[in-house]
Structure 1
Amino acid sequence: MLPRRYQRIRETLDRRQPDLTVLTEDVHKPHNLSAIIRTCDAVGVFEVHAMNKVVDGEDLPTFTQVAQGSEKWVELHRHTTIEGAIAQLQARDFKIYAAHLSDRAVDYREIDYTQPTAVLMGAERWGVSESTADAVDGHIIIPMLGMVQSLNVSVAAAVVLFEAQRQRLEAGFYQQPRLDEKIYQRKVFEWGYPDLVDHYQERNLPYPQLDEQGQIISES
C-alpha cells in the first residue's frame, strides 16, 4: 500500500460517524440505493441498514455505476424485517426519524442530528409503511414550495444527511476519530489490502498489524 493511500484511508476513517446512519425500507431501485450509499460516503456515514422483501430470490437491488464504488467504503447491513432493524438500532440508543408526512411530522431541520440518529427512508412509490411509522421515534418532512409534494428518495436522503453533516461540523464531530479502535484498525486493513481479506477470513486468522506507513509487519 502506498503511503499516500494509507494516509487517505486514515483521513477518511477519522471522519466516519458511527452514530449517524440511514435505514431503508423496500427501496428497490438499484440507482436509488446506490445514490444513498454514495451520499453516505460523502457525509461520513460509517454504515447503512437496508430491508427489502425477497423478490425473485433477490432481497436487495444490485449496485449501479451511480455508486461510483462507494459501496466499498460504507458498510451495508441487510435485515430480513424492518421491525428487527428498528429494534437493533434502538437498542444501540439511536433515535429513528422517518421521512413521513403525518400530523406529528416536523421540519427536518428541527432535529438534533448530533445525537445518535437513523434516518428512515421508505419505498419509492409508497414511502414508509404505516406500521413502521408507528414504530419509530419521530417523523420529518422537507418543506416543498412547488407543485410536486415529494422528492426522489435518494435526493431526500441527501438533503437530510447534509443537514446532519452541517450540525456535526459545527459541533466538531469531524475533528477527531470517533470509531472504536478495533473497528478502525479492521477497516484500515480491509480498505488497504482488499485482495488479502478473503485469505485471512477463510482461515479465521486475525488481520496482521501494520506499521506507521501502512505496510504489513512481517509475522514470525
Structure 2
Amino acid sequence: MPSPLAVLCLVAVSLEGAFSLSCYHCNTVGTDCNTNEKVCDKSFDICISTITDISTPGKTSTKSVVRSCGNKEQCNTTYSISMNSTNLHAVVKCCDKDRCQISNLEVQKSTTENNVECLTCNEASDKCKSPIKIKCIGDQKKCVSYGAKDAKSQVKFTSQVCATENVCTMKNVTTLPFDQILATKFECANHAPSLIPGLLFPVAVVIAMLKLLS
C-alpha cells in the first residue's frame, strides 16, 4: 500500500498537469496553423498568436502566423519595423483556453510617411557600411539598431531600422524581416545621426588657422 506522502505527490503532479495550459506551437506563411500542441511551462499563462504582414512596394505582401505559449503582458500589442523598402507590421493576440486560436488574422498597417528619418541597413557584418536613409511610416518614431542572425544559416547580421517606440522595451520579438531572429538587444535613438557636425569640423579648423595667420 503506498504511503500517504506518495499519494500526495501523485495528486500534486496530477493537479499540476490538470491546470497547465496547452497551446499550439506552429509557424506558417500564407495560411493559418493549429498543429503541434504543447503543454506550456508553468512560467507561461496564455496562448499567443503573432500575425505578421511583410510588404515591399511592387510585390504581394506576405502574411505569417506564429502560435505559442506566452505571457499576458505580450497581449494586444502591435509593432512595426521598416528597413529600406521593406515594411513589417505585426499584432500579438491572446486567448486563455486549451488549444484556443485567434481566428481574426487581420493586421492594421499604415504606410504614410512621417517626419522621422533613419539610416537603415541589413548587412552580414558587425557594422553597417552602406546605410540608406529613409522616412519612417505610421507610428514609427525611433531609429533602432540590433544584431540578428539568419534562422537557418545562423549567419550574423547588423540591422538598422525605423520602428515603433514599444520595440525599444521588447526583450524579443516573434518576427523580424528576412526570416531573421534577434541576437542582441534593441538600441534606440530618436533620429538618424546628423552629418552636420562632421561637415562643420573641417570648416572650423580652417577658420582657426586663418585667425592664427592674420
The two structures have a TM-score, normalised by structure 1, of 0.25
Which has the higher Rg, Structure 1 or Structure 2? Answer: 2
Say which structure is richer in strand: 2
Say which structure is richer in helix: 1
Using CA pairs below 8 Å that are at least 6 residues apart, which structure has the higher relative contact order? 1
